[in-house]
Amino acid sequence: MNLALKYRPRRFEDVVGQKLPSVVIPAMIAQGSLSQVLLLAGPSGVGKTTMARIIAAELNSEAAQDVHEGTHPSVLEIDGASNGSVSAIRDLKRNIQFAMPGNRVIIIDEVHSISDEAFDALKEMLEFPPDNVYFILCTTEAHAIESAIRHRCDRYNFKRASVDDLLDRLHYVIEQENINVEPAMVDLIAQRSEGSFRESLMLLGQIAAGGITTIEEYNELQGEIDYGPSLILSTFGGSASALSKLESILHYTSSEEIVDRTVETLRDLMLLKGGIQLKYSGKMLATREFLAKKLGTADILKAIHIIWDLQTKLSAGDPVRGLEMAYAMLGEVLKQHEIVPVVPAPSNEVMSLDDMRSFTG
């Protein structure tokens, strides 16, 4: 079952993490003052197209169900990436002259992808839209749209949903679907979804379909999911230890993902150093708290500098070799000098606190 599709919001108040447009836009519709040209800008998966459909449904409230099912004749969705030619936009210009029931709503997704010639044709329609015709432009790259277009729009910036917002929605769906999953797994889904409601429910759907209830079960199938702390911990044993752990993780994930997880973990450690509580539970939280206690702020900053320097150079060479050199350096910077063991061949299980303490005595 596609949980992201099943639980796609159909009301403004159900859109996760977008409070400003969820309050302002329905108020404008109620007042009859909604702009005929809207620009919804923000990262992928945060609710832009969903919001566009809700707006279209509110503007055609007598047939809102048809709008949500994609069958209303007055609501047209265009994918700018695959249907953004000048001829397609010119056809649109001719078609909107014909009378249709209700309000015409033209949703152009990924509008930044349409051709330059198509932008020129679109510009005229946006400047003088016909009565009862609304344009909703959605984009992940607002900066790629020329200013002449942007200035014709009432713009709303969409942000990534907070971990708390995602957790609220995940727990709601879990309750509705009667999904059996441990809280730590739900916490991790919210963390890994990068602020995307859609991504979080897709991950939850995978786990539910596989009957996975714990992080340990997921690790057995996929490989260690929360490997950022384990990688940092491996550096306590020096360069050889760090490279051994890195090699094992490269078997089931990419170098880019490892960099992201490393940066995420170092960020988490800095937050803990600052007294900020993390949205983790169980072993994931305990591991990070242990690392934050063992490492000084200066050590964490050195590690951030090494990884940040790597990120700026990855495109210039072999990313795997670059990552190996970065972790060799981390192994020298973060090495615990009391005891310097080499990490044994790693398992897929989350390391216990007793295992962690064995690195430092």
Q: Quick one: 94 and 113 in the same domain?
A: yes
Return the pLDDT at 316: 58
Token pair of 218, please?
A: 């997921």
Return the pLDDT at 348: 43
Mean predicted confidence (pLDDT) in 62-76: 92
Q: Provide the pLDDT confidence category of residue 294 given band limits of 50, 70 and 90.
A: very high
pLDDT in tens, 90-101: 888 888 877 788
Q: How many CA atoms lie within 13 A of 138 on its CB side?
A: 24
Mean predicted confidence (pLDDT) in 333-343: 57
Return the pLDDT at 280: 85
Q: Quick one: 134 and 32 in the same domain?
A: yes
- Is 46:18 a contact under the CB 8 Å cutoff? yes
Q: 142 lies in which domain range?
A: 18-157
Token pair of 24, please?
A: 């302002």
For residue 341, give the DSSP letter: P
Q: Quick one: 29 and 142 in the same domain?
A: yes
In a domain, 71, yes or no: yes
d(CA 303, CA 253): 21
- Is 228:264 a contact under the CB 8 Å cutoff? yes
Return the pLDDT at 354: 53
Q: Which residues contact 269 (CB under 8 A, 6 or more apart)?
A: 232, 288, 291, 292, 295, 300
- What are 27-30's contacts with CB under 8 Å, separation 24+? 29/55, 29/58, 29/59
In a domain, 49, yes or no: yes
In a domain, 131, yes or no: yes
In a domain, 262, yes or no: yes
Given a cut of 70, whether residue 315 has pLDDT beyond it is no
Strands (E), the chain: 37-41, 75-79, 104-109, 133-139, 154-157
CATH number reported for the structural domain that contains residue 187 in this entry:
1.10.8
> Which H helix or E strand runs over 295?
none
Of 78, 43, 76, 57, nearest in space to 8 by CA: 57
Q: Quick one: 151 and 176 in the same domain?
A: no
Backbone phi and psi for residue 71, each to the nearest 5 degrees, phi listed first:
-115, 0
Domain stops at, among 190, 205, 221: 221
Average pLDDT taken over every residue of the chain: 86
Q: Quick one: 240 and 173 in the same domain?
A: no
In a domain, 8, yes or no: no
Q: Quick one: 255 and 313 in the same domain?
A: yes
Given a cut of 90, whether residue 1 has pLDDT beyond it is no
* 5-9, 131-135, 278-282: the lowest-pLDDT one: 278-282
Q: Quick one: 255 and 280 in the same domain?
A: yes
Q: Quick one: 23 and 142 in the same domain?
A: yes
Q: Quick one: 176 and 245 in the same domain?
A: no
* Cα R_g (the chain), whole angstroms: 25
The tally of domains found in the chain comes to: 3
In a domain, 4, yes or no: no
Of 180, 170, 187, nearest in space to 281 by CA: 187
> Which H helix or E strand runs over 143?
none
Domain stops at, among 157, 184, 203: 157
Mapped onto helix, strand or coil, the DSSP state of residue 271 is helix
Kind of pairing between the strands at 154-157 and 37-41: parallel
Backbone phi and psi for residue 83, each to the nearest 5 degrees, phi listed first:
-140, 45
pLDDT in tens, 165-181: 999 999 999 999 999 99
- Is 241:360 a contact under the CB 8 Å cutoff? no
In a domain, 12, yes or no: no
In a domain, 1, yes or no: no
Q: Quick one: 181 and 145 in the same domain?
A: no
For residue 299, give the DSSP letter: H
CATH number reported for the structural domain that contains residue 267 in this entry:
1.20.272
d(CA 250, CA 70): 43
Token pair of 38, please?
A: 């809207």
pLDDT in tens, 231-269: 999 999 999 999 999 999 998 888 888 988 999 999 999
Task: State the greatest distance between any 2 C-alpha atoms of the chain, in Å, as a whole number.
Answer: 80
Output the pTM of the full model: 0.76
What Cα–Cα distance (Å) separates residue 344 from each residue in 155, 222, 330, 347, 350? 54, 20, 18, 9, 14
Q: Quick one: 152 and 231 in the same domain?
A: no
CATH number reported for the structural domain that contains residue 75 in this entry:
3.40.50.300
Q: How far apart are the first and last CA of the chain?
A: 48
- With tokens 């950022």, the residue in question is 228
Q: Quick one: 152 and 49 in the same domain?
A: yes
